[in-house]
Amino acid sequence: MKICVFSPGIYTYGAMVIGGIIREAGYEVAITKNIAEIAGNFIFISLYSTQQLLSPGIKTVIRNLKDSGSTVIIGGAVSADPEMVLGELEPDLVVTGEGEVTVLKILHGDEWDSIPNCVYRDDDKIVKTKKERVAEISRPLPLIPDDIGNQNIRGAQTYIETHRGCFGRCSFCQVPLIFGRRIRSRKLEEILQEAELFHQKGVRRVALIGGTGSLYLSKGEVLNEDAFIGLIKGLSEIFGQKNVSCPDIRADCITDKILDAVRNYSVGWIFFGIESGSPRVLDLMQKGIYPDSIRQAVERCREHGVRVAGSFITGYPGETWEDHELTKDLIEEIAPDDLFISSAEPIPSTPLADLVLKTPDSDNPAFIPHVGEYKPLHLTEAEARAFDMMLHADNCRMIPRLTTEELYQTYLKEARTQGEDIRRATHLLQKYHH
């Protein structure tokens, strides 16, 4: 029996993990990111974005594989909305949530209705089996492709998982929904063994995955500073001090020791999900962190020599232009070293997706035509706010950036692309849940 793990475009960490589990169980398995190289009796496809559900190429290849007798199974972040995956891509089976146990039971030939985390069609009804999360995250080494060293995901060749879960409730985020709010951490020795293998295979820089890096081995909201320090120190000994990145850390999950460790054993940056400068919008987002805490956290980072990147969400349903201005004021005040600006994306199964479904398009900034300053550009309100914030951010960075004509056009294109993607994602939600 030949098995193929297909991870379109990039090798996702999850695809490599599933490949490793299959290999360890004694099956012949290959991993590829190229459609042309897919072949096998069982094809596991790892998808992370709603936009991939709309890819005609993926849809066609699935149909062809099924016609030729392969069994096609889809997992990954998109599986949070299995009806949508079944409806759009028509695989044989969707594995929802955590797939480690499920994948092996499928290959062992167990009846699908007896396997947890399965969703599939049986004639015209959809069967969903019980959901289960693994009690302990322990598994064989991942299946790492030989060309992993050529990959570039925000500067890193791969992510590496340290723990699952987040105590947060951010309305736009899938992490607590897929992995729960209790923190389950991997053993340090397993993480480092895996990191060694990635390094041998050509990975020069890794980024931690898992929501908030400093929650590693924490008990709920009680941080385990020493565990986090041991983790990034151990990784930095493998990859080098400037080749470990812990992208996202909640602003209320830092301490002096954690910041010193970030400075000493990583690229020296912290990425805060700041989202908005408006307490009202932060309440809508269930963020639980307000601008005063952000100001203090940013100041504390700078005292410890840690640079700060902030991510901001614009065009959240219910956000007004006054809220938008508050966010701009906060950006100006804290002067982040770098910024990421995105329009609010209703990721399936999140509270934001529910809110978007309840919000008529006529009240949703993603659809309302903008009639203010940027009217001649024919943007929606969400696009105009994203574009406006990108322009504003250039003046507010710690080292200000001159907005050249080229950058202006880049931001405009980015705002329009985000707007288009969000409308497509919203239409898909409406198709399956209205």
**Residue 221 C-beta: closest distance to ligand SF4, Å:** 11
Residue span binding ligand SF4 (CB under 6 A) among the ranges 167-175, 221-229, 258-266, 366-374:
167-175
Please give the C-alpha separations between residue 55 and each of 21, 33, 88, 90, 402, in angstroms, as whole numbers.
28, 15, 9, 13, 37
Q: Identify the bridge partners of residue 169 per DSSP, sorted by sequence position.
A: none
Query: Should residue 342 be labelled a site residue for ligand SF4 when binding is judged by CB under 6 A?
Result: no
Query: Should residue 175 be labelled a site residue for ligand SF4 when binding is judged by CB under 6 A?
Result: yes
Go through 327-339 and write b for each residue having 16 or more CB atoms within 10 A of its CB, e for each that does not: bbebbeebbbbeb
Measured from the CB atom, is 144 or 173 closer to ligand SF4?
A: 173
One residue of 166, 281, 306, 428 binding ligand SF4 per CB under 6 A: 166
Query: Should residue 176 be labelled a site residue for ligand SF4 when binding is judged by CB under 6 A?
Result: yes
Q: Could you give the dihedral angle defined by the CA atoms of residues 102, 164, 426 and 343, in that order, rounded to the nearest 10 degrees?
A: -150
- DSSP secondary-structure letter at 430? H
One residue of 78, 170, 195, 331 binding ligand SF4 per CB under 6 A: 170
Q: Which residue has the tokens 């710690």?
A: 398
Q: Token pair of 277, please?
A: 């400068």
**Residue 66 C-beta: closest distance to ligand SF4, Å:** 35
Of residues 227 through 286, those in contact with ligand SF4 by CB under 6 A are 248, 250, 273
Q: Measured between alpha carbons, how far apart are the two ends of the chain, in Å? A: 41
One residue of 157, 212, 218, 343 binding ligand SF4 per CB under 6 A: 212
Q: Token pair of 423, please?
A: 């409308």
* Rounded-to-integer distance, Cα 142 and Cα 194, Å: 7
Query: Should residue 163 be labelled a site residue for ligand SF4 when binding is judged by CB under 6 A?
Result: no
* Rounded-to-integer distance, Cα 344 and Cα 361, Å: 14
Residue span binding ligand SF4 (CB under 6 A) among the ranges 15-23, 127-135, 166-174, 261-269:
166-174
Measured from the CB atom, is 99 or 165 closer to ligand SF4?
A: 165
Helix (H, G, I), strand (E, B) or coil at 358: helix
Query: Should residue 353 be labelled a site residue for ligand SF4 when binding is judged by CB under 6 A?
Result: no
Measured from the CB atom, is 62 or 285 closer to ligand SF4?
A: 285
One residue of 173, 183, 301, 308 binding ligand SF4 per CB under 6 A: 173
Edge-to-edge strands of the sheet including 307-314? 269-275, 307-314, 338-343
Of residues 42 through 101, those in contact with ligand SF4 by CB under 6 A are none
**Residue 247 C-beta: closest distance to ligand SF4, Å:** 10
Measured from the CB atom, is 234 or 351 closer to ligand SF4?
A: 351
Count Cβ atoms below 10 Å from residue 426 Cβ, excluding itself: 21
Query: Should residue 211 be labelled a site residue for ligand SF4 when binding is judged by CB under 6 A?
Result: yes
List the x/- string, 143-162, binding to ligand SF4 by CB under 6 A.
--------------------
Helix axes 405-433, 82-89, angle to 10 degrees: 100
* Rounded-to-integer distance, Cα 249 and Cα 172, Å: 16
Query: Should residue 180 be labelled a site residue for ligand SF4 when binding is judged by CB under 6 A?
Result: no
Closest CA to 202 of 149, 267, 280: 149
Measured from the CB atom, is 4 or 249 closer to ligand SF4?
A: 249
How many alpha carbons fall within 13 Å on the CB side of residue 31? Answer: 24
**Residue 81 C-beta: closest distance to ligand SF4, Å:** 17
Measured from the CB atom, is 211 or 315 closer to ligand SF4?
A: 211
Measured from the CB atom, is 107 or 289 closer to ligand SF4?
A: 289
* Rounded-to-integer distance, Cα 197 and Cα 220, Å: 30
* Rounded-to-integer distance, Cα 214 and Cα 98, Å: 22
* Rounded-to-integer distance, Cα 133 and Cα 102, Å: 10
Residue span binding ligand SF4 (CB under 6 A) among the ranges 134-142, 173-181, 310-318, 319-327:
173-181
Query: Should residue 168 be labelled a site residue for ligand SF4 when binding is judged by CB under 6 A?
Result: yes
Measured from the CB atom, is 236 or 245 closer to ligand SF4?
A: 245
**Residue 177 C-beta: closest distance to ligand SF4, Å:** 9
* Rounded-to-integer distance, Cα 197 and Cα 285, Å: 39
Which residues of this chain interact with ligand SF4, rule CB under 6 A? 166, 168, 170, 173, 175-176, 211-212, 248, 250, 273
